[in-house]
Structure 1
Amino acid sequence: MKETKGTILLIEDDATFRSFLQVILEDDGYQVETAEDGAKGARLLRQGDFDLVISDLKLPGKSGLELFRESRQQLGHPPFIFLTAFGKVEEAVSAIKEGAVDFLTKPLDDPDTLLALVKRTIESQARARDYLSLKESEAAGLPTEGLLFAGEAMKPVRRLVQDVAGTLANVLVIGESGTGKEVVARTVHLASPHGKGPFVALNCAAIPENLLESELFGHEKGAFTGAIQARQGKFELAKGGTIFLDEIGEMPVSLQAKLLRVLQERVFERVGGTREIKADVRVIAATNRNLRQEVDQHRFREDLYYRLNVFPIHLPPLRERVDALPLLIEHFLHRFGGQLGKKVAGVDAEALAALKRYHWPGNVRELQNVLERAVILSRDRVGLAALPEEIKHPDGGESPDSREQLKAAEREMIVKALGRHGGNRRLTADELGVSRRTLQYKLKEYGLLEDD
């Protein structure tokens, strides 16, 4: 089946002219729905999901301008191109001042003029959607394939990514924090049939529970206190692309049922809405938790687990990829040297040995932070003095004494953060960069829950 360039709603009361335009647009690869009056046009606008509306200004029942103004009340409304008789040009110009894309006069002299305008409008909308999704995403770019899959332990991962990328199967990326789960997800996306669509990421642990449903599915105006206008959710922003649900294990059980419905039926509704919206997206989820264990402890739905776990990809921690360290180090030195205007030739043998010996609890993300600091502190080469104390320690920071020191420091850091936020755990977790569940575990571990 030929892929469509976009979906267009055509509203025109002249049956002959409507049929003429429909044939032109469909022959050029667009999917077209039609309406012969304003009432049907309004109904289709509420029910459908259109990339563009082409409407006559003068329609029976409800004018094209009224339809346009009503649609503007909804965030994510489709762009309008108006058709008008020569004598109504002033009204069309007024519509453009209110936000319509353009207008064409009837009769249509050259169909290519319409097709060029339609193509330009839909492509512009797609670019704007892509920009928004990228702007909200944490990742600024992808490393080269050789860098991403560096090390023997990553060879099976490379094969799995190559196998699944060409499909639209759900993928579950599993690995410790900092192993590059989002980077792998982006790699799968770019090589997939949805690769030209947007990549929209959402960290399920970073959004308060009462707002997470709206972030995922959007909301209608007045759906709850503070919803002063309609808002698209991540599933709508990801239309034709991929949605990446990071830390899926942190999603509340009450919301897991709604996500399951999307995966099963490929439709969803905005909060406060009744219109079903198609979920034309690929879903890639990620977790640093053992979801099978979470299921056994009734913190994660078993049916959702099986839906997400269609194709699992396990990422090895950096401590199992020591053979990749020289390549990763060279990459980060070059990157940060360029950003800071410094030329750092490499790493001394003693410093490299310390980096290889370290256990890297923060994985590649921690390595990146360590080397950025090292570039700042170094002149020609990175020496041992430019590395943090826990890396310079001969046993890699794994001795009982050092572990106790780290725990004491972590406990003190949590206590101070709690103090700064008046005991508010959500704000404390946000500052520390951990999920609220992780903070809860730490509070229990360090005996800080006596007052609960």
Structure 2
Amino acid sequence: MSEAEQKRRPFRALVIDDDKEMRLSLAHLLEAAGWRCELLSGPPQVEQKINQWQPDVILSDVRMPNGSGLDLLHLDQQTPPIVLISAHGDIPMAVEAMRAGAYSFLEKPFDPQRLLRILNNAAERHRLTQNTQRLQERLAKLSGIDRVLLGQSPQLQTVREQIIDFSSTPAPVLISGETGTGKELVARAIHDLSDRADQPFIAMNCATFEASSFERMVFGVQNESLGTFMQAEGGTLFLDEVASLSPDIQAKLLRAIEHREITPIGSDKPQSVDVRIVSASNENLDDAIAAGRFREDLFYRLSTVVIDLPNLRSRRDDIVLLMQHFLAHYAALYETTAPELDAEEIATLLAHDWPGNVRELRNVAERRVLSARRGGGSISTSMRLENDMGNVPETLREAVASFERSLIAKAIQTHQGRMDAVAEALGIGRRTLNEKIVKLNLDKSELL
């Protein structure tokens, strides 16, 4: 990692030790070296902290009253490199730790400079691995953008050009468009094509925030949790549905953006943040300003450059092309042949106003493919939103897959993409949820 990248987003360490004095000593050593630390007294809650804070490395004692550091090597999730320390270390324990997947093992008392070298090497290795994974994710996300922005209309060509142009600048971007036009996917494309692509992209649905919880969720709590600003450090913070923010929240957000710093709850020391702001609204913000519901100064902070996403009814020449694309996609997913559209179905497509835009069209395409698999169906019947028995796949396995897709998609939408909450609501583990999302070919960004 280059010096500039290290400065942009300092390494993060999760320090676990039952000895409070040792925890504080390790934190002091790391923070003096430019690291950021979160402290725990034992293994419980480690998985939750990893999900919340996404550390680059875990530094843990081995023998603790409430668990062993060796247990961290068997967590049911992907973990960053684990460096173990122990006052009771011996060769068999070190061998066991390394075989189980520990990055390194040190015996107390240890040389502080050696510990820092090991931690830096572990964190750099973790970042490189993440960068490779992010590159793969970027390609997948960009293919998602291509699906939403598929079309030959001049409006779509303009949007594609704007994404390329604006991604290379640090200026705030405001994306406007109706529900279902792909605002978050455009925001992700801007991030993925920018020089921040190897840093986090954090999406924040402003419609879910209340004034009482805003500071906790956005600015974080000292020594407890990171807010969305710090989670996005060095990367992009996407503010969706900004028009829904209350006046009090707008004022707090404006100060954070203007001063490029936040103050976590419980701290009297502001922390500087380096994030690029991309926002979106399905409401006309000029109207919201005129009605006194949105601050004009915040609008100017957010809208240095603006991308207007066209609705589907304004580019009817693209409707049939999009439908054919989605029919082919879902035919491959359900291992069947894509149905051919007759003149009546094409007329039905072109006569519809598509209030749900591309998202609605995609759903119709999926229902059309499921109907065609049974040898029937039409575009007009697929447009019916009622989930009657005619839309049930013919085999039990298909029916279960269809039900799981529907249930998981609804949970993702209900919980605004917060995957821990989705897993809890469905009564399954996060790892199981991730596997099902991959297996069922669900795209979270297209559901939100």
Per the shorter chain, which TM-score range?
0.5 to 0.7
Change (3 A) 1:196 1:125: closer
1:246 corresponds to? 240
Change (3 A) 1:42 1:310: same
After superposition, the C-alpha distances for 1:7-36 in whole angstroms (9 at most, x for unaligned) are 4699xxxxxxxxxxxxxxxxxxxxxxxxxx
1:91 corresponds to? 87
Pick aligned residue for 2:344 from 317, 342, 350: 350
Structure 1 residue 344 displacement after superposition:
1.5
After superposition, the C-alpha distances for 1:241-263 in whole angstroms (9 at most, x for unaligned) are 11111100101111111211221
Change (3 A) 1:9 1:143: closer
* Structure 2 alignment gaps of length 5 or more: 14-21, 62-83, 386-412, 417-448
CA distance in 1, matches of 2:383, 2:236: 38
Pick aligned residue for 1:333 from 324, 327, 334: 327
Structure 1 residue 178 displacement after superposition:
0.8
CA distance in 2, matches of 1:302, 1:92: 62
Pick aligned residue for 1:201 from 200, 203, 208: 203
Query: SS of the counterpart of 2:225?
Result: coil
Structure 1 residue 217 displacement after superposition:
1.9
Structure 1 residue 376 displacement after superposition:
1.4
Pick aligned residue for 1:276 from 256, 270, 292: 270
Change (3 A) 1:43 1:116: closer
Structure 1 residue 197 displacement after superposition:
1.3
2:433 corresponds to? none
Query: SS of the counterpart of 2:204?
Result: strand
CA distance in 1, matches of 2:242, 2:364: 28
> Are the aligned partners of 1:174 and 1:287 in contact in 2 as well (CA < 8 Å)?
yes
1:307 corresponds to? 301
Structure 1 residue 50 corresponds to structure 2 residue 35: yes
Structure 1 residue 294 displacement after superposition:
1.2
Pick aligned residue for 1:387 from 377, 382, 386: 382
2:424 corresponds to? none
CA distance in 1, matches of 2:12, 2:353: 58
Structure 1 residue 161 displacement after superposition:
1.4
2:176 corresponds to? 174
Change (3 A) 1:9 1:242: closer
Change (3 A) 1:296 1:374: same
After superposition, the C-alpha distances for 1:177-213 in whole angstroms (9 at most, x for unaligned) are 1111111111111111111112111111134443233
Structure 1 residue 3 corresponds to structure 2 residue 4: yes
- Of the structure 1 ranges 151-160 and 186-195, higher mean CA displacement relative to structure 2 is found in 151-160
Aligned residues: 336
> Are the aligned partners of 1:178 and 1:365 in contact in 2 as well (CA < 8 Å)?
yes
After superposition, the C-alpha distances for 1:98-125 in whole angstroms (9 at most, x for unaligned) are xx974457998x98x9767633334436
Change (3 A) 1:152 1:78: closer
Structure 1 residue 167 displacement after superposition:
1.0
What TM-score, normalized to structure 2? 0.62
1:442 corresponds to? none
What TM-score, normalized to structure 1? 0.61
Change (3 A) 1:207 1:371: farther
> Are the aligned partners of 2:30 and 2:36 in contact in 1 as well (CA < 8 Å)?
no
User: Which amino acid in 2 is paired with 1:347?
Assistant: L
Query: SS of the counterpart of 1:244?
Result: strand
> Are the aligned partners of 1:377 and 1:386 in contact in 2 as well (CA < 8 Å)?
no
Change (3 A) 1:348 1:275: farther
Structure 1 residue 322 corresponds to structure 2 residue 316: yes
- Of the structure 1 ranges 212-221 and 174-183, higher mean CA displacement relative to structure 2 is found in 212-221
After superposition, the C-alpha distances for 1:268-294 in whole angstroms (9 at most, x for unaligned) are 122333332332211100001111221
CA distance in 1, matches of 2:380, 2:11: 63
Structure 1 residue 367 corresponds to structure 2 residue 361: yes
1:191 corresponds to? 193
2:144 corresponds to? 143
After superposition, the C-alpha distances for 1:411-444 in whole angstroms (9 at most, x for unaligned) are xxxxxxxxxxxxxxxxxxx9799xxxxxxxxxxx
Query: SS of the counterpart of 2:337?
Result: coil
CA distance in 1, matches of 2:147, 2:24: 57
1:402 corresponds to? none
- Of the structure 1 ranges 310-319 and 262-271, higher mean CA displacement relative to structure 2 is found in 262-271
- Of the structure 1 ranges 339-348 and 310-319, higher mean CA displacement relative to structure 2 is found in 339-348
User: Which amino acid in 2 is paired with 1:214?
Assistant: R
Query: SS of the counterpart of 1:3?
Result: helix
Change (3 A) 1:89 1:359: closer
Structure 1 residue 4 displacement after superposition:
3.4
- Aligned counterparts, 1:98-177, within 5 A: 102-104=104-106, 118-124=120-126, 142-143=143-144, 145=146, 148-150=149-151, 151-177=153-179
CA distance in 1, matches of 2:332, 2:322: 15
> Are the aligned partners of 2:204 and 2:239 in contact in 1 as well (CA < 8 Å)?
yes
Structure 1 residue 376 corresponds to structure 2 residue 378: no
1:234 corresponds to? 228
> Are the aligned partners of 2:263 and 2:270 in contact in 1 as well (CA < 8 Å)?
yes
CA distance in 1, matches of 2:215, 2:266: 11
Larger Rg: 1
User: Which amino acid in 1 is paired with 2:273?
Assistant: A
Structure 1 vs Structure 2: percent identity of aligned residues?
A: 31
> Are the aligned partners of 1:203 and 1:245 in contact in 2 as well (CA < 8 Å)?
yes
RMSD: 4.6
User: Which amino acid in 2 is paired with 1:198?
Assistant: P
Structure 1 residue 90 displacement after superposition:
4.2
Change (3 A) 1:188 1:432: closer
Query: SS of the counterpart of 1:143?
Result: helix
1:217 corresponds to? 219
